[in-house]
């Protein structure tokens, strides 16, 4: 049991690290700027369907890309202020800030909705 929990935590840490790398290493086609609060604003393209994934426990994840034609990846986090509706694709701007001393099973980044740029029911 402990081994499974450790493996799940390792997967989440890896996913959080990959997400951080993607957010900080976005291509020039993605919108990124720093706002007055010190967080980066990043544009995300979100697919209309959730997919099964496994973080600490089995869950459903959004599929996101960081450029219009970029490769999608699983997004394990939540976005404060964003009410995702399955069956709708989105283009959104989010503020990404680093979390000081995050819990071991949580991301080191927090996400907050800045603006819904586009919302298209499928």
DSSP assignments along 6-18, one per residue: HHHHHHHHHHHHH
pLDDT in the model for residue 15: 45
Q: How far is CA 16 from the centre of its chain?
A: 9
pLDDT tier, 101 (very low <50, low <70, confident <90, very high otherwise): confident
Cβ-based neighbours of 60, under 8 Å, separated by 6 or more: 50, 51, 52, 53
| pLDDT recorded at residue 39 | 84
3-state secondary structure of 97: strand
- Cα 32 to chain centroid distance, Å, stands at 14
Residue 116 pLDDT greater than 80, yes or no? yes
Mean pLDDT computed over 80-104: 94
d(CA 103, CA 52): 23
pLDDT per position as a tens digit, 10-61: 444 444 444 443 433 333 334 455 554 568 999 999 999 999 999 888 999 9
């Amino acid at each position: 049991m402990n081994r499974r929990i450790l493996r799940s935590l390792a997967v989440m840490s890896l996913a959080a690290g990959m997400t951080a790398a993607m957010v900080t290493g976005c291509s020039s086609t993605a919108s990124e700027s720093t706002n007055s609060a010190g967080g980066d604003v990043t544009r995300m393209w979100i697919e209309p369907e959730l997919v099964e994934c496994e973080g600490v426990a089995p869950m459903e994840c959004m599929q996101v890309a960081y450029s219009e034609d970029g490769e999608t990846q699983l997004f394990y986090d939540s976005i404060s202020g964003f009410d995702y509706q399955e069956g709708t694709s989105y283009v959104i701007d989010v503020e990404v800030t680093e979390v000081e001393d995050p819990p071991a099973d949580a991301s080191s980044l927090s996400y907050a909705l800045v603006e819904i740029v586009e919302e298209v029911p499928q």
